[in-house]
A and B are shown apart, each in its own frame.
Chain A
Amino acid sequence: MSGTLYALVAVGLTMTFGIMNITNFAHGEFLMVGAFATYALTVSGVPFVLALLGGAAAAAVLGVLVERSTFRYTLADPINGLVVSLGLIAILQNGMAMMVGTEFFNLAPPYAGTVDVGGVVIATQRLFTIGFGVVAIAGVWVLLRRSSLGRSLRALAVDPTAAGLMGVRTGYMYSAAFALGCGLAGLAGGLLAALFPASPFMGAAPVAKGFIVIVLGGLGSVPGAIAGGLILGIVESLGAGYISSAFRDGFGFVALILLLLVKPSGLFGVMERRA
């Protein structure tokens, strides 16, 4: 299940990188916004699935706002985008903390109970999370491969100038790409909120995992992000089970470092060599 969530976060992250060349360290904060939006909606009586979509939408809207006001102007120098994202972390984390305090918010899982799947007992909520996550990822996949929006986005990722000349409305597309990425993060946040306590600082850990995943899968590669997410989930479970559960979070980092040493472009990435 963690794998699915990691994949969700990673796909959004890799999209912003692939299309806009932005390393968005603040991605986790969009997850957090989605979590809180979902929480707020659920608590006021909205059905969970709708609340999830609402959370994703909230994150997406925030993403568009952020992209139009800041990231758009950093396209010339990616490092600037990175630095901006660091500033955004501080703003969003603490902004939320100012609004809701630093306590944890617990959302009771809307799908309580457990389910017996072929002899293995899984909490229903977790099963739902996997299911919904898979559906969302599949949806994005179809969107990218089949729709004209997806085609435009992929063109933009390869060559923005050419795409612009072909009639792709680059400004609009950048916002769309960013919104999509943040929306996915928000969705992951909403799903996460039903399982773990939410706090304004909850975004830090998932985004770290997200980065591990996208480097594992190759920066900018969506299939890589999906595969990487699942792989990381497995690696962590195995590591926690066989080596040390306290060090669970560390395995991903170790794997990342080892991979970067051996193949700096990731499992699916293509090494570009400028002359």
Chain B
Amino acid sequence: MGVLLDISNLSLAFGGVKALTDVNWRIEEGAVAALIGPNGAGKTTLFNCVTGFLRPLPGSRVLYDGRDMTGWATHRLAEAGLVRTFQHPKSFTGMSVRENILAAARIAGDPSRTEAVLSATDLGEFAERRASECPYGVVRRLNIAMVIALRPRLVMLDEPAAGLNDVERQVLARNIQKLRSEGCTVVLVEHDMNFVMSLADDVTVLDAGKVLVHGSPEDVTSNPEVIRVYLGQYDAAS
């Protein structure tokens, strides 16, 4: 397949504080890649850097499908097939679930996909309900549905399982598998290790803005450094 997203020397500073330092990360096309790390490690910041919400420091480089798209605007990335979701569920609150998906499908140029996406994500029963009146888990699913409607090449999911119960997590896992089966590359930030273990092909651990370790889920979870970083947090808390 090949490397779809190639991040090298990505650095970012907020004022005097370095949030990301020389992050190197390569994501294979078709893979499910997970980014984990303790709170405050910079995972969402990394996402924001790659997806055009923050500008990285000079010297950083992000290649998407071989093209240099460092610092590209968010919409340009989306047009090129790189789509993201957000930590907090978002929607066009005044519109119904169906209209939300339709909006995404229209932007992608194929409004007829709406029905298919609705049923594929089991959102049929909420189709006419206003997004603002839908429960948390449903809106999360709606976000995934909107992403699916866009037919992206690379999807970056920011903590997609946060706040979901077990059943909803299973549905999410299924939707991610569905994306993957359609050839989409999935990158996700996640805290839930079990979730990551069952889904991810490879895992990258971020700590204090630096990449700690990279490898298969088994390797990473048995890595003593990783355990220290996660458990160290635990100890400090207690």
Chain A residues close to B by CB (< 8 Å): 270, 273, 275
Q: What 9 new A-B contacts, CB under 8 Å, besides A273-B54, A275-B48?
A: A270-B15, A273-B48, A273-B53, A275-B44, A275-B47, A275-B53, A275-B86, A275-B87, A275-B158
A-B CB contact pairs (8 Å), 7 listed = A270-B15, A275-B44, A275-B47, A275-B48, A275-B53, A275-B87, A275-B158
Which 10 A-B residue pairings sit nearest by Cβ, starting from the closest? A275-B48, A275-B44, A275-B86, A273-B54, A275-B53, A273-B53, A275-B87, A273-B48, A275-B158, A275-B47
- Given the complex of chains A and B, what is the CA–CA distance between A275 and B47 in angstroms? 9
Q: Please tell me the size bucket of the interface on B.
A: under 10
Residues of B within 8 A of A273 (CB): 48, 53-54
Which residue of chain B is the closest to A270 with respect to CB atoms?
B15
- Given the complex of chains A and B, what is the CA–CA distance between A52 and B15 in angstroms? 42
Which residue of chain A is the closest to B45 with respect to CB atoms?
A275
Q: How far is the CB of A80 from chain B (nearest CB, A)?
A: 16
What sequence of 0s and 1s flags, for each residue 47-69 of chain B, a beta carbon within 8 Å of any chain A beta carbon? 11000011000000000000000
Chain B residues close to A by CB (< 8 Å): 15, 44, 47-48, 53-54, 86-87, 158
Q: How far is the CB of B17 from chain A (nearest CB, A)?
A: 12
Q: How far is the CB of B55 from chain A (nearest CB, A)?
A: 10
- Label chain A's interface by main secondary structure: loop
Residues of A within 8 A of B54 (CB): 273
Residues of A within 8 A of B44 (CB): 275
- Given the complex of chains A and B, what is the CA–CA distance between A270 and B158 in angstroms? 24
Residues of A within 8 A of B87 (CB): 275
Residues of B within 8 A of A270 (CB): 15
Q: How far is the CB of B203 from chain A (nearest CB, A)?
A: 22
Which residue of chain A is the closest to B158 with respect to CB atoms?
A275
Which residue of chain B is the closest to A274 with respect to CB atoms?
B53
Residues of A within 8 A of B48 (CB): 273, 275
Q: How far is the CB of B143 from chain A (nearest CB, A)?
A: 13
Residues of A within 8 A of B86 (CB): 275
- Given the complex of chains A and B, what is the CA–CA distance between A273 and B19 in angstroms? 14
Which residue of chain A is the closest to B51 with respect to CB atoms?
A275
Q: How far is the CB of B175 from chain A (nearest CB, A)?
A: 21
Q: How far is the CB of A223 from chain B (nearest CB, A)?
A: 16
Q: How far is the CB of B157 from chain A (nearest CB, A)?
A: 13
- Given the complex of chains A and B, what is the CA–CA distance between A81 and B221 in angstroms? 50
- Given the complex of chains A and B, what is the CA–CA distance between A120 and B44 in angstroms? 58
- Given the complex of chains A and B, what is the CA–CA distance between A273 and B15 in angstroms? 13
Which residue of chain A is the closest to B47 with respect to CB atoms?
A275
Q: How far is the CB of A56 from chain B (nearest CB, A)?
A: 36
Q: How far is the CB of A17 from chain B (nearest CB, A)?
A: 21
- Given the complex of chains A and B, what is the CA–CA distance between A273 and B56 in angstroms? 13
Which residue of chain A is the closest to B54 with respect to CB atoms?
A273
Q: How far is the CB of A58 from chain B (nearest CB, A)?
A: 42
Which residue of chain A is the closest to B87 with respect to CB atoms?
A275
